[in-house]
Chain A
Amino acid sequence: MPQTINIDKQNIPFSEGQSIIEAAEQAGVYIPHLCHKAGYKAHGSCRLCTVTVNGRWVSACTEPAEAHQQVENNTRELQSQRRAIVQLLFAEGNHHCPFCEKSGNCQLQAVAYSLDMHDTHFAHQLPQRSLDASHPDVLLDRDRCIQCELCVRASQEYDKKNVFALSGRGPSTQLIINSESGKLKDSQINKNDEAIKVCPTGALMNRSKPFSIPIGQRQFDKIPIDQQNTCVPDTTEAST
């Protein structure tokens, strides 16, 4: 008999060493997240996956699943907090969906839709961030970066290249490139790298096929992210 945790009154089996979000994903239960991706080491920075375990607030991506945990996930309070986090992410960057090539395939946007976010609520910080369009195949638009470090982890763990890192503190934090000039064109980046594919926003984009899928036919245009099985680890491509 497998051990179980209980998420929103549903018993969910887990294996030893799994986090709460991993157990939930395996059972098809959606917990909103941005910095987490199946197959990647937990980061615990975006806090979107915050749930309560036996009444205590924890991030589901870093909290190990343990037998008999009572987990609350889809509650009005948690969804409201998550919406506020996404609103903050929008207000902290320069996110303009109408003219972003990632629109419709963007996880940040999809999570906002899923959380019934209609506005950005907070005062916009209007940060001045530089764009790196030096590479013919890859674009880095720091305006759209949410600093989840998925590209950093992907580049190190899957691409074995170590192209990206976060530098600076607080509002000055930005994604930097590991190359002599600090530009993408002089780095080891390749358009097929996992580091590009894994970006949950339009910060890192493959430039070779812009708008190849029309708006309206994209991943999250019709089906909410919480109703898609986006949790299955898709590291196959990365490991080949």
Chain B
Amino acid sequence: MTKKIRLATCSLAGCFGCHMSFLDIDEAFIAVADIVEFDRSPLTDIKNVRNCDIGLIEGGVCNSENIEVLKEFRKQCKILVAVGACAITGGVPALRNNFELKECLEEVYLNGRGVVNPQIPNDKELPLLTDKVYPIHEVVKIDYSLPGCPPPADAFLELITALSENREPKLEYALRHFD
């Protein structure tokens, strides 16, 4: 039996919708499980990424922990894939880019409706927010991108199948939508 592909996944500033879409490959997961071994992923609950063939990154970069995780994935994964609109353009979290970070924090923690004991959290264990929300290709090199919100399940299947067969993934028209 040939060696299985090691695959890790994570969600940064995302909603896990891309992971849900990945699960939507349904029964094809049985075939995928034959060729893929999962490393760090919300699907396995393994906390630290180890040496992998493919890393799938959902979500954009909005805080210092995202940057740390992303750089670790880049270090450990031979192929890194931006998955979904948030990873590729910042997506919904990037709506805060229209405002200064200070304005966002004040609106949420000081002036927002129903706020009790207003204070901006500053516990040192909390990751610092970045000034803006960034696409992941601005932090590390990305090898492939799966567009969509979320990318269709078949796009995940094509990506993994193609890479397991040592060929370039080919996204047909129906698989490369941005919405």
Contacts and interface: CB of A to CB of B under 8 A. Distances in A.
Interface stretch (B27-35, B64-72, B104-112, B134-142): B134-142
Interface stretch (B4-12, B46-54, B115-123, B143-151): B143-151
Nearest to B88: A119
Contact of A98 (B98, B145, B149): B149
A123 interface: yes
B140 to A, nearest CB: 13
A97 interface: yes
A81 B88 CA distance: 20
Identify whether the interface residues of B are mostly helix, strand, loop, or mixed. Answer: mixed
A124 B89 CA distance: 8
Interface stretch (A58-66, A110-118, A162-170, A189-197): A110-118
B80 interface: no
A222 B177 CA distance: 10
B173 to A, nearest CB: 6
A124 B85 contact: no
B179 A118 contact: no
Contact of B91 (A96, A103, A121, A222): A96
A97 B86 CA distance: 11
A109 to B, nearest CB: 6
Interface residues of A, number: 27
A128 interface: yes
Given A90-B89, A118-B171, A126 B144 contact: no
B145 A119 contact: yes
A158 to B, nearest CB: 30
A152 to B, nearest CB: 25
Contact of B149 (A94, A97, A109, A121): A97
Contacts of A123: 138
B179 A128 contact: no
Interface string A64-101: 00000000000000000000000000100011111110
A98 B92 contact: yes
Contacts of A133: none
A120 interface: yes
Contacts of A222: 173-174
Interface in A205-231: 215, 221-222, 224
A200 interface: no
A121 B82 CA distance: 11
Closest A-B pairs by Cβ, 10 of them: A98-B149, A97-B178, A119-B145, A103-B179, A118-B145, A97-B179, A98-B85, A119-B88, A98-B179, A126-B97
12 contacts: A96-B85, A96-B95, A98-B85, A99-B92, A113-B178, A118-B145, A118-B146, A119-B88, A119-B147, A120-B89, A124-B134, A222-B173
